[in-house]
């Protein structure tokens, strides 16, 4: 993956897949190198502002609702009564905002290692951070793996792993060892969800391995939900849910239908359809 700003275009190249995604940019708004990563923000012609970490598109104003709604509402409507939610990563606060829409949630602890991401989000993506002052939100800037290690057994209802790609700093978040630790801190009936890359590019690798690792970690059900994400590799993305004494193929359908808050992509019927795996994924995952 590389970044190549040519003639007013930002491009993320997916070399191994022989493909790329480009956005026409007006100007670079921000450029900072933190101890953890290189963060850039661009103003684009047609996608609003764009946040890039280490050359990889993280989000744009125009299409982040797809990812953020799918990283939060399926897991929250799967859990019977989510009260304490933990987000690992997610420093832009887009997932946090969606989680806080659920009136039953009492506490959301977000642990992102890099405060620069949250600072840039507050400045250039203010709608994503608009709920940060909610008294239920607790933002921590530290190592998520260490935080999980210090967390009490069976104390969390829902865990959301809103990470970068599983290379470099986030690699460990996809492995059995970390998933076991997540399993330990979830209460019975708990749900975890992990962003799980592209169905087109990664079903036979990252997605299959993550699901196997979740099962090895002790989770008794898994489900991968695909959704469109036009500015990520292949334009198509996924999240994978895992349940601890909870079937993640079922959800509170009536509650989802009657959701009292505004949604742009997620709905009860969308959730049901996202649980249906396309035949090529079924073949690769269930063999
Ligand atoms: N986290 C998932 C980013 C993965 C994108 N990969 C890429 N562009 N190669 C996004 C964080 C949004 N809260």
Report the alpha-carbon distance of residue 32 to residue 40 in Å, rounded.
7
Between the CA of 36 and the centroid of ligand 1 the distance, in Å, is 15
What pLDDT does 168 receive? 77
Q: Is 136 exposed, middle or buried (0-12, 13-18, 19+ CB in 10 A)?
A: middle
145: domain CATH number is 3.40.50.150
Enumerate residue ranges in the chain where pLDDT < 50: 1-2
Q: Of 45, 60, 75, at which residue does a domain stop?
A: 60
Print the domain residue range for 221. Answer: 64-285
Ligand 1, atom nearest to 57 Cα = 8
Claim to verify: residue 13 and residue 76 sit in the same structural domain: no
| pLDDT at residue 6 in the model | 59
Say if residues 85 and 245 touch (Cβ distance below 8 Å).
no
Residues in contact with ligand 1 by the CB-under-6-Å rule are 1, 12, 56-59, 67, 90, 92, 94-95, 162, 164-165, 195, 232-233
Q: Which residue is listed with tokens 């009536």?
A: 254
Give the three-class secondary structure for 267. Answer: coil
What pLDDT score does 42 carry?
Answer: 98
User: In this structure, are 150 and 30 located in the same domain?
Assistant: no
Q: Please compute, for residue 214, the number of CA atoms within 13 A of its CA located in the half-sphere on the CB side.
A: 25
Question: Same domain for 214 and 182?
Answer: yes
Residue keyed to tokens 């996202």: 274
Number of structural domains the chain divides into:
2
How far apart are the two ends of the chain, measured CA to CA in Å? 30
CATH number of the structural domain spanning residue 10: 2.30.140.10
Cα–ligand 1 centroid distance for 191 (angstroms): 21
Tokens in use for 189?
A: 């009936």
Q: Single out the residue in 60, 86, 108 at which a domain terminates.
A: 60
Residues 279 and 242 in one domain: yes
- Assess whether 6 and 39 both reside in one domain: yes
Kindly give the number of the ligand 1 atom that is closest to the alpha carbon of 64: 12
């Amino acid at each position: 993956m590389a970044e190549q700003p040519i003639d007013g275009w930002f491009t993320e190249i997916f070399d191994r897949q022989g493909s790329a995604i480009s956005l026409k940019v007006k100007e670079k708004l921000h450029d900072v190198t933190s101890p953890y990563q290189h963060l850039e923000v661009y103003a684009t012609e047609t996608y609003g502002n764009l946040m890039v970490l280490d050359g990889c598109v993280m989000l744009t104003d125009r299409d982040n609702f797809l990812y953020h709604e799918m990283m939060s509402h399926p897991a929250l409507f799967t859990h019977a009564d989510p009260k304490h939610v933990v987000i690992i990563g997610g420093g832009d606060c887009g997932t946090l905002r969606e989680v806080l829409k659920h009136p039953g949630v009492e506490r959301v602890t977000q642990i992102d290692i890099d405060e620069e991401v949250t600072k840039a989000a507050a400045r250039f993506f203010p709608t994503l951070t608009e709920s940060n002052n909610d008294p239920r939100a607790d933002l921590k800037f530290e190592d998520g793996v260490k935080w999980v290690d210090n967390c009490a057994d069976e104390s969390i209802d829902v865990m959301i792993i809103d990470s970068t790609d599983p290379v470099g700093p986030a690699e460990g978040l996809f492995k059995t060892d970390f998933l076991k630790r997540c399993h330990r801190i979830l209460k019975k009936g708990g749900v975890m969800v992990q962003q799980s890359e592209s169905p087109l590019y990664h079903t036979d690798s990252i997605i299959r391995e993550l699901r196997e690792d979740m099962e090895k970690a002790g989770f008794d059900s898994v489900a991968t939900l695909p959704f469109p994400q036009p500015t990520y590799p292949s334009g198509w993305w996924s999240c994978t849910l895992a349940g601890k004494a909870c079937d993640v193929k079922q959800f509170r359908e009536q509650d989802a239908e009657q959701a009292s808050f505004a949604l742009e992509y997620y709905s009860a019927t969308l959730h049901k359809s996202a649980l249906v795996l396309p035949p090529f994924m079924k073949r690769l995952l269930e063999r």
